[in-house]
């Protein structure tokens, strides 16, 4: 009787060991797949870099807007504003094609399926 009990115990332990090894291997495979960078993933380094470039242009546009409120006849500032506005539109379009909408309420288009629910949102980065 003791031998049969010991054999059952060994069999059970082997099954648990096999399950544990398979589980660890599967988790390792999943981690390796998740560590490979996807060029169009929200929140990765490329996303942050492109978003930062867009934020720099936005900052310059806000500053130029404030300046032009008090200096409306400065032709050079108006030209710079228009150039930056055009650059911002180009950056925003490229960004949205890769990562999804920057704004909501009809200011940005969305591909299918609905992308606005995907996080992180631009202000969370």
**Can you tell me whether residue 39 is helix, strand or coil?**
coil
pLDDT in tens, 23-38: 666 666 665 655 554 5
pLDDT grade, residue 49 (50/70/90)?
A: very high
Q: What is the pTM of this model?
A: 0.56
Spatial distance between the Cα atoms of 5 and 72, rounded to a whole number of angstroms: 92
User: Structure tokens of 103?
Assistant: 């704004």
Rounded CA-CA distance 38/47 in Å is 11
Instruction: Tell me the two tokens of residue 112.
Output: 């299918």
What are the tens digits of pLDDT across the range 54-109?
A: 999 999 999 989 998 889 898 999 999 999 999 999 999 999 888 888 877 665 65
Q: Give the DSSP H or E segment for 65.
A: helix 45-70
Task: Please give the pLDDT value at position 58.
Answer: 93
DSSP-derived secondary structure letter, 37: P
Whole-number Cα distances in Å, 91 to 20, 36, 69, 112: 48, 26, 25, 21
Instruction: Please report which helix (H) or strand (E) contains residue 20, including its range.
Output: helix 2-35
**Domain spans, the chain:** 1-33, 43-125
């Amino acid at each position: 009787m003791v031998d049969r009990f010991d054999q059952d115990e060994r069999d059970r332990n082997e099954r648990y060991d096999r399950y544990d090894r398979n589980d660890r291997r599967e988790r390792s495979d999943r981690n390796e797949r998740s560590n490979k960078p996807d060029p169009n993933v929200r929140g990765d380094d490329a996303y942050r870099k492109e978003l930062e470039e867009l934020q720099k242009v936005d900052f310059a546009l806000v500053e130029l807007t404030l300046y032009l409120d008090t200096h409306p006849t400065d032709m050079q500032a108006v030209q710079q504003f228009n150039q930056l506005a055009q650059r911002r539109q180009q950056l925003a379009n490229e960004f949205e094609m890769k990562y999804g909408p920057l704004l909501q309420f009809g200011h940005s288009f969305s591909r299918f399926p609905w992308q606005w629910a995907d996080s992180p949102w631009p202000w969370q980065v």
